[in-house]
Amino acid sequence: MARKWMILSFLLSFGCLFMAFQWAGAQENTIVIQDKGVFKKLQRPPVTFSHEKHSQSYPDCIQCHHDYEYKNGKRENNWGGEGQPCSECHKLERAGKTSGLRAAFHDNCIGCHRGMKKEGKRTGPVTCGECHVRSK
């Protein structure tokens, strides 16, 4: 009986790993963030984001691919945001407890980079011009 559970546990773990690699592999390596459908006119150049680099150095996908649910006033994470654009939930302006798209990007990206910097880790940009790079 214990052997059956061990085999079942191994198969389940292998299946989860396989699915994680499938999801990670399904995303393009480089993404240009420029949601003109929401922002209309861009004030700064679009951001080029390396999904591959981030998924290798920060494997907790739910940090970006999230779907928050509120219960009794408390926010809870639910897996479910993968495969849809951020602008599907984050509109130009804040809507209730959902931050606006610009704030969501800035809070998540810059917030993570600043947190890693405080921990003494190598990290990405934290200023406007480092993300929004003007072409030469």
- The two structure tokens encoding residue 93: 């302006």
Tens of pLDDT along the chain (136 residues) come to 665 554 445 444 444 433 444 444 455 688 888 777 777 788 889 899 888 888 887 777 777 877 777 778 777 766 566 667 788 888 889 988 889 999 999 998 999 999 999 999 989 999 999 999 988 7
Task: Identify the residue whose tokens are 């798209």.
Answer: 101
- The two structure tokens encoding residue 7: 């085999």
pLDDT given for residue 111 in this prediction: 92
Domain segments of the chain as ranges: 28-131
Beta bridge partners of 79: 66
Identify the CATH number of the domain defined by range 28-131: 3.90.10.10
